[in-house]
Amino acid sequence: MLLIHGGEAVADAPELRTGGVPLVPEGFVWPMCRECGGAMLFFAHLPLAFGVVSVFLCQNNPGMCDDWDATSGANRAFLFDGPLGAATVPAEGETLLGAVTALRPHPADVPTTEPVLGALGGGPGWIQGDETPDCPSCATRMTFTADLEEGADFATSANFGGGGRGYVFHCLPCRVAAFLWQR
């Protein structure tokens, strides 16, 4: 299933989107970059059948932190269970994208004129080689969740090195998720 540009969404929309405010469980602590110490940027909210995947990466010093690496500590992905509410956004740092964009599921075999912003399920569309991460908890190979492009509009996109692609994985038994990007 492709994820195509679904227009603007409200900041706390409980739908598939990039940007806006993350919906998080009680007691959530906003992730900080292990490399620069800054607050991460919230990138994507992905409500799926098995939970909500929430993706963050460091964009405080583009090109300086290893936010492309699933294990560097410069990005974070979570697998949440409900109930969820809008997070309190830290006052400092590059924390939010400039636009909230709905991601609309669209059958891959049906043509569309909307920008394709990602894909759900299937397999990862690797730009480089296979970098499927191992689960940090049980060490088994993680399950592919979604591909996510940087965004449709350069001014409000995430930065995956310019034309890169993000990859989201999860481990259902451990309730964890991971993120990396390639270009």
State the nearest-atom distance from the C-beta of 106 to Zn ion, in Å: 30
Q: Which of 71, 88, 112, 137 binds Zn ion (CB under 5 A)?
A: 137
Q: Which of 1, 15, 25, 35 binds Zn ion (CB under 5 A)?
A: 35
Q: Which stretch binds Zn ion (CB under 5 A): 41-49, 111-119, 136-144, 162-170?
A: 136-144
By CB under 5 A, what part of segment 46-65 binds Zn ion? 58, 60, 65
Query: Which of 65, 94, 20, 7 lies closest to 181, judged by CA?
Result: 65
CA distance 167 to 183: 11
Number of residues this chain uses to bind Zn ion (CB under 5 A) = 11
Q: Is 41 in the site for Zn ion (CB under 5 A)?
A: no
Asked whether the beta carbons of 142 and 133 are under 8 A apart, the reply is yes
140 in helix, strand or coil? coil
Residues that bind Zn ion in the complex, under the rule CB under 5 A: 33, 35-36, 58, 60, 65, 135, 137-138, 171, 174
